Amino acid sequence: MAIVDNNSQEMKKTMGQNQNGANENSGVKTQKETTNLSEKKTSPNKNFIAKKQKKSYFATDGFEQKVVKIKRINKTTKGGRKMRFSVLLVIGDRKGNVGFGMGKSIEIPTAMQKALKNAKNNLTKVIMTKKGSIYHDIVGKACAAKILLKPAPLGTGIVAGGAVRTVIELAGYSDIYTKNLGKNTPANMIQATINGLQAQKTVEYIAKMRDKKITEL
């Protein structure tokens, strides 16, 4: 009987040691899992940081915005008339970056937010001379709108009106002539003006395309 008791005591000791070892191993696993979870939480998400930087870029770089047109839209349905608002605005930093956007919503502030978001997504870069004018005459086209753009001497100012003037001011030009040769739809006029400004060619670009020096032109 004593032999059986001794064997049972040894079995209990070994079982207790195994249980302690299992508990220690489980504790190590939990520590590893907690460290992995903490690393995942603290590890930066590249996409999130990129989006955050993109949003802060537009918020901190001093873009100005001007509303070109607010239009009320009425839709007659079976339940009655439904009213919405359409907002067209232009943004720019007066350093060559300009864009426009349109937003629609039931309320004007929400429509303006949508238009601002679209304008930020449609930002374009335009070039200008050191004197704040364009390099040469050009006609910008968009649908039925045609805008003639001509360089002007220093001190002339911006000879433009309506939506065209808004685009040119926010783009940063100081001396320029403009003339509307087509329809006067605001959105198309803005697009035509931006297309014309983007289609400019510098003297260096023309010389490079012709394989000549600037003095030979």
CATH number (domain holding residue 154): 3.30.230.10
What is the predicted pLDDT for the residue at 19? 52
Three-class secondary structure of residue 187 per DSSP: helix
CATH number at residue 108: 3.30.160.20
Total domain count for the chain?
2
Nearest to 152 by CA among 169, 125, 129: 129
What confidence score (pLDDT) does residue 192 get? 96
Helices 186-198, 162-171: inter-axial angle, 10-degree rounding:
40
Domain match, 94 and 148 both: no
3-state secondary structure of 208: helix
* Residue where a domain stops, chosen among 83, 107, 124: 124
Q: Could you tell me if 150 and 177 are in contact, meaning their C-beta atoms sit under 8 angstroms apart? A: yes
**Does residue 119 register a pLDDT over 70?**
yes
The string over 87-100, giving b where at least 16 C-beta atoms fall within 10 Å of a residue's C-beta and e elsewhere, is bbbbbbbeeebbbb
Residue 148 in tokens: 């003639």
pLDDT category of residue 38 using cuts at 50, 70 and 90: very low
In a domain, 120, yes or no: yes
Residue 4, in any domain of the structure: no
Q: How confident is the model at residue 9 (pLDDT cuts 50, 70, 90)?
A: low
Final residue in a domain of this structure, among 93, 124, 155: 124
Residue with tokens 């067209």: 88
- pLDDT at 120 (0 to 100): 92
Domain that holds residue 157: 126-205
| 117 and 160 co-located in one domain | no
Task: Using the predicted structure, report yes or no on whether residue 213 has a pLDDT greater than 80.
Answer: yes
Higher pLDDT, residue 168 or 49: 168
0.75 exceeded by pTM: no
Does 167 map to a domain?
A: yes
162 vs 9, more confident = 162
Least confident of 39-48, 54-63, 85-94, 96-105: 39-48
d(CA 84, CA 75): 8
Phi, psi at 173, each rounded to 5°: -75, 145
Pair 101, 133 in one domain: no
- The reported pLDDT for the residue numbered 217 is 67
Within-domain flag for 109: yes
pLDDT in tens, 16-32: 555 555 444 444 444 54
Whether residue 193 sits in one domain with residue 182: yes
* Domain-embedded: residue 50: no
Q: Residue 156: what pLDDT? A: 92
Owner of token pair 């899992």: 33
Task: List residues bridging with 176 in a β-sheet.
Answer: 151, 158
Do residues 159 and 135 both lie within one domain? Answer: yes
d(CA 117, CA 6): 81
Q: What is the model's pLDDT at position 62?
A: 80
Residue 131 and residue 175 in one domain: yes
Asked if pLDDT for residue 143 goes beyond 70, the answer is: yes
